[in-house]
Amino acid sequence: AQTVTQSQPEMSVQEAETVTLSCTYDTSESNYYLFWYKQPPSRQMILVIRQEAYKQQNATENRFSVNFQKAAKSFSLKISDSQLGDTAMYFCAFSTGQGGSEKLVFGKGTKLTVNP
């Protein structure tokens, strides 16, 4: 069974600074997908960034980037120039894509607070 572990229950950062959220996962599959989702107080989960395991290049989306270490099964999220609107729960998620299903396995989340 696949598992996703987020070891930081809570983190805080000053506005405009950089923060890194950690995620590790466990799988025996060779090909899979990794994601970071954001859940603000409005409760609506929003995809932040996705990474396909067969791609060696780390994904980036504007101020968000990942450090994907396949051998270490590590997938951290870096948020640059943090903004107040980045305050949210961040969930790391994994999917094998078997059968075309986008069934995601989520970690427990990291609560990020951006302070003014």
Task: Please choose, from the candidates 2, 112, 7, the residue with its C-alpha nearest in 3D space to the C-alpha of residue 64.
Answer: 112
Phi/psi at 24 (nearest 5 deg)?
Answer: -125, 155
* Out of 25, 35, 68, 75, the residue judged to bind another protein by CB under 8 A: 35
* Out of 42, 56, 57, 62, the residue judged to bind another protein by CB under 8 A: 42
33 binds another protein (CB under 8 A): yes
108 binds another protein (CB under 8 A): yes
Burial class (CB within 10 angstroms; exposed 0-12, middle 13-18, buried 19+) of 50: middle
Name the site residues for another protein (rule: CB under 8 A): 4, 33, 35, 42-47, 50, 91, 93, 95, 97, 99-109
